């Protein structure tokens, strides 16, 4: 086993991981988004150093594959030269429209940044495993309920105030609810939970915490009286969300109204597209005045700062280039969660039809479909 082949690791830019087609790197911009110029630069780097294909994962990370040890170093140098700061340490994810969504309950950015700082200050980064993660969800049009995390902080309205529901070990539906607290307490509980995980070793997650530890976290700083705290016994927490609510997940595809202007969501078919196609789309985005491009969970990109007219123009270009521009596109149904036979209905998701729309060969489409079925 070499330095690039450790299973269970996250293939960050500084630590690429060996795959069947070379080394893989995964990038998450610290600021949450990229300029069109930066995305064009990354696409050109992928053409020079990788296999010419770019990916956006189910959790909203940018991936470049097919690297060698030398080309991975060259890629890292080019990313640095472009001034793209990439995230390191424990992932603390916010929604892709955080801070600009007209419908969000609260902007999660400040709390997320304070939590990142607390994790760093307490020395937890090196003690936690690479798959440990935190979600800070401010609500809105593109919530984070579909993402699983060790710790979840979700904004909830309390009259004119905003509190944060804290839960652990799951997605928005399955996570174990602990307490509803103010922002400072939410940060403290999250750090305390991560400390408990770190004490169990780098293979541990919050799902490994004992009932006594969960009870301790639930009673700490809680706004609600103890009798009003959720029942966190194992038989009661399965399948629940904060407040027992079940929310619909909107696909990150289409037009989204923002506090100012609009965003257009465009998905990559099965999370993958030739780098040249992405370069051409980013070039078009720059021409029509896109201010920022954000990566979105659900294998998508959000183009920020547009008008309805420019959204329509960019959407037409994306369709021509083989991107997914409609939530009813058959390519969104392959490997869908809960689908036992994702390729069983050719009339809905024919590989040959997908090949025609995307410009990829039938062999590549078949391979991507197989990869899409694997858990990330």
Buried b (16+ CB within 10 A) or exposed e, 226-239: eeebbebeeeebee
* pLDDT for the residue numbered 299: 95
The HSE-up count of residue 369 (CA atoms within 13 Å, CB side) is 23
Judged by phi (left if over 0) then psi (alpha if -120 to 50, else beta), residue 34 lies in beta
% of the chain at pLDDT higher than 90? 67
Q: What average pLDDT does the structure give for the chain? A: 83
Length of the chain: 376
Is the model more confident about 138 or about 370?
138
pLDDT higher than 70, residue 121: yes
3-state secondary structure 255-323: EEEECCCEEEEEECHHHEEEHHHHHHHHHHHHHCCCCEEEEECCCEEEEEEECHHHHHHHHHHHHHCCC
Predicted confidence (pLDDT) per residue in 159-182, tens digit: 889 999 999 999 999 999 999 999
Query: At which residue do the structure tokens 């020079």 appear?
Result: 48
* pLDDT for the residue numbered 16: 85
User: Rounded to two decimals, what is the model's pTM?
Assistant: 0.80
Predicted confidence (pLDDT) per residue in 183-236, tens digit: 999 999 999 999 999 999 999 999 999 999 999 998 876 554 443 344 443 334
Report the pLDDT averaged over residues 126-150. 94
Report whether 73 contacts 286 (CB < 8 A). no
Predicted confidence (pLDDT) per residue in 60-109, tens digit: 999 999 999 999 999 999 999 999 988 888 999 999 999 999 999 999 99
Residue 371: closest CA among 338, 342, 348, 330: 342
* pLDDT for the residue numbered 269: 94
| Gyration radius of the chain's alpha carbons | 21
% of the chain at pLDDT higher than 70? 78
Alpha-carbon gap, residue 110 to 364, rounded angstroms: 41
* pLDDT for the residue numbered 220: 72
Phi and psi at 355, nearest 5°, equal -60, -45
Is the CA virtual torsion 374, 59, 256, 42 positive or negative? negative
Helices (H) and strands (E) in the chain, counts: 11, 15
* pLDDT for the residue numbered 111: 97
Predicted confidence (pLDDT) per residue in 13-41, tens digit: 777 888 888 899 999 898 779 999 999 99
* pLDDT for the residue numbered 15: 78
Query: At which residue do the structure tokens 């969000």 appear?
Result: 104
* pLDDT for the residue numbered 4: 37
* pLDDT for the residue numbered 87: 86
Confidence band, pLDDT 50/70/90 cuts, at residue 330: confident
Q: In the structure encoding, which two tokens stand for residue 216, read together?
A: 């301790």
* pLDDT for the residue numbered 342: 42
List the CATH code of the domain at 97-244: 3.30.413.10
Report the pLDDT averaged over residues 107-112. 96
Domain boundaries, the chain: 97-244
Report whether 85 contacts 31 (CB < 8 A). yes
Inter-CA distances, 171 with 147, 320, 371, Å: 5, 35, 22
């Amino acid at each position: 086993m070499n330095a690039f082949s450790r299973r269970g690791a996250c293939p960050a830019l500084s630590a690429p991981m060996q795959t069947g087609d070379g080394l893989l790197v995964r990038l998450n911009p610290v600021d949450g988004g990229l300029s069109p110029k930066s995305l064009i630069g990354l696409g050109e780097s992928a053409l020079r150093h990788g296999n010419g294909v770019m990916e956006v994962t189910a959790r909203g990370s940018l991936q470049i594959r097919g690297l060698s040890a030398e080309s991975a170093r060259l890629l890292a140098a080019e990313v640095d030269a472009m001034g793209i700061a990439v995230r390191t340490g424990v992932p603390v994810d916010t929604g892709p429209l955080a801070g600009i969504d007209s419908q969000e309950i609260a902007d999660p950015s400040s709390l997320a940044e304070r939590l990142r700082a607390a994790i760093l200050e307490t020395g937890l980064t090196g003690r936690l495993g690479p798959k440990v993660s935190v979600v800070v969800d401010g609500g809105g049009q593109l919530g984070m309920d579909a993402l699983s995390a060790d710790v979840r902080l979700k904004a909830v309205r309390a009259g004119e105030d905003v509190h944060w529901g804290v839960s652990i070990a799951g997605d928005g539906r399955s996570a174990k609810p602990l307490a509803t607290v103010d922002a400072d307490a939410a940060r403290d509980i999250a750090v305390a939970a991560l400390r408990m995980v770190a004490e169990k070793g780098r293979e541990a997650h919050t799902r490994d915490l004992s009932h006594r530890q969960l009870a301790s976290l639930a009673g700490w700083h809680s706004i609600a009286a103890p009798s009003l705290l959720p029942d966190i016994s194992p038989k009661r927490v399965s399948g629940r969300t904060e407040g027992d609510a079940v929310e619909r997940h909107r696909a990150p595809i289409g037009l989204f109204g923002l506090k100012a202007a609009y965003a257009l969501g465009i998905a990559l078919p099965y999370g993958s597209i030739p780098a040249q196609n992405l370069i051409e789309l980013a070039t078009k985005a720059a021409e029509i005045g896109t201010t920022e491009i954000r990566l979105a969970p659900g294998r998508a990109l959000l183009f920020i700062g547009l008008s309805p007219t420019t959204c329509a123009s960019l959407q037409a270009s994306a369709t021509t280039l083989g991107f997914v521009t409609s939530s009813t596109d058959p390519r969104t149904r392959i490997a869908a969660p809960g689908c036992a036979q994702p390729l069983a209905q050719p009339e809905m998701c024919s590989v040959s039809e997908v090949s025609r729309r995307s410009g990829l060969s039938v062999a590549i489409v078949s391979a991507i479909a197989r990869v899409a079925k694997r858990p990330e």
